Amino acid sequence: MKGVAGGLSVALALVVAACSSDVDPPGTPGGTGGGGTGGTGGSDGGAGGAAGSCVDAPPGDDLSFVAGGTYAAVPPSTEVNALALGDLDGDGRVDLVFGGNPSPTAQVWLNGGDGTFTSRGAVPLDDWPKALYLGRLDADAGLDLVSISECAASDCAYLEVLSGLGNGTFLTAQRAIVPESHMDVLLSRAAIGDVDGDGRDEIYATGESELYAWLVRRQMSGMLEASEVRAFDAVVLADFDGDGALDVAGTTADADLYGLHVHLNDGDGTFIVRAQVASLAHRTRHLAAGDLNGDGQQDLVTIDEMQTLQVWMGSEDGSTLTPSQYALGAGPNRWPVLADIDGDCDQDLLLTSGSRVQILLNRAGLLVEGPQIDVGGEPSALAVVDVDGDGRLDLVVARRDLADVRVFFNRHSAAP
């Protein structure tokens, strides 16, 4: 299960891609998880998703979207900062979890099968969530909920984990234990995936790259154990060397030097620290992974603080990345997600740009401008997932300023 953005996440057996805002770091993740959708492996756009099926043929030019339901946060929330999607009740449909400032809750909405959601109620947290993720941290059937929660009384953010019961409800939140001297670390994003091959997901939770990061595992006793790992400004989990184990890629800042790193997994969840694989011109807090040119290698997409989009084509061992640069509008441009939005079996790039979702279509490994969807507010999270079960990937957008989540249905006729 690979990847998502910022405060967002998408999950497991469902075919999904997601990206979200966990926080706007000093003037800016998204949580996807990050960015993040129930555990696709990254904090921003993650590994990208594919629809249930695709047609390996030239795509049509009629890609369009129709606005669906709007799901409002329950007071006292005045914003929606975090979004996650996954099958919470085992019916094969993608469900919705979101939350935001200042309410210490995650709101659960179950999918009725036609792309509409019904409230299952609010899940109590210790503090308000700035990023939400879903994953399988234990052997139980239900998806578990992970929150990067913002401290109400001090300048900190920490990790809460809630075990899912498989019916849309969760047990009481449990905090990940880290050394007391680091309890005030400002965690900002996470990536979720099975890094040690035991069939259960781990959490790679990080603050800014100058600070701390933790790899969090649930032990057989049920306790959460955290070990220190390399911190990144943006992080994704993906298999960069083709050995079947999830590696980690991330961006860093050191004074005025900025880098892109790939650390390979030795198979048991230990990451081999290597020198950076590429230099970056500016600080970069938005990152996604996927295969854009269909060669079976993981590629990366970055968006830096100067709104520059770069695509980095991968290699067999993850040691070499070949860049190409694309111009974007004024933005702000955030939350990249790689997903096959037009059903032609190639991953496309989606991102938020101002009050719109911008689609860049993949044409033989090159990105060309596609439609823009006005979402009517300030996007704070983006998920790309088949909401209504028709085989097309839809858009799920958290709107920070309107304190709600809006669905946009894909009506592309070329999809099966």
Q: Considering the entire predicted model, what is its pTM?
A: 0.89
- Distance between CA 158 and CA 411 in Å, rounded? 40
Nearest-5° angle of CA 43, CA 195, CA 11?
50
Beta bridge partners of residue 144, listed in sequence order: 135
| Residue 247 burial class via C-beta count within 10 angstroms: exposed 0-12, middle 13-18, buried 19 and up | buried
CB of 239 within 8 A of CB of 291?
no
pLDDT in tens, the chain (416 residues): 333 343 444 443 333 444 554 333 322 233 333 333 443 333 464 334 445 568 776 665 689 999 999 999 998 889 999 999 999 999 999 999 999 999 999 999 999 999 999 999 999 999 999 999 999 999 888 999 999 999 877 778 889 999 999 999 999 999 986 655 555 568 999 999 999 999 999 999 999 998 889 999 999 888 999 999 999 999 999 999 999 999 999 999 998 899 999 999 999 999 998 889 999 999 999 999 999 999 999 999 999 999 999 999 999 888 899 999 998 888 899 999 999 999 999 999 999 999 999 999 999 989 999 999 999 999 999 999 999 999 999 999 999 999 999 999 999 986 45
Give the Å distances, CA to CA, from 390 to 31, 146, 343.
Answer: 27, 29, 12
3-state helix/strand/coil string of 237-276? EECCCCCCCCEEEEEEEECCEEEEEEEEECCCCCEECCCC
Determine the topology of domain 176-327 in CATH.
Neuraminidase (2.120.10)
The answer to whether 15 and 391 have CB atoms below 8 angstroms apart is no
SS (H, E, C) 274-296: CCCCEEECCCEEEEEEECCCCCC
| Whole-number pLDDT of residue 76 | 83
What is the chain's length?
416
Q: What percent of the chain is helix, strand and coil (3-state, nearest 5)?
A: 0, 50, 50
The structural domains of the chain, with segments of one domain joined by +, span 176-327
Nearest alpha-carbon partner for 407 in 115, 161, 113 = 115
Residue with tokens 């993650």: 46
User: Rounded CA gap, 155 and 208, in Å?
Assistant: 14
* HSE-up of residue 413 (Cα within 13 Å, Cβ side): 3
In sign, the C-alpha dihedral spanning 187, 193, 195, 201 is positive
Alpha-carbon span 71 to 128, nearest angstrom = 18
- Confidence at residue 55, expressed as pLDDT on a 0 to 100 scale: 75
Question: Is the bond preceding residue 25 a cis peptide, omega within 30 degrees?
Answer: no
d(CA 28, CA 199): 35
By C-alpha distance, which of 142, 136, 127, 143 is closest to 82?
127
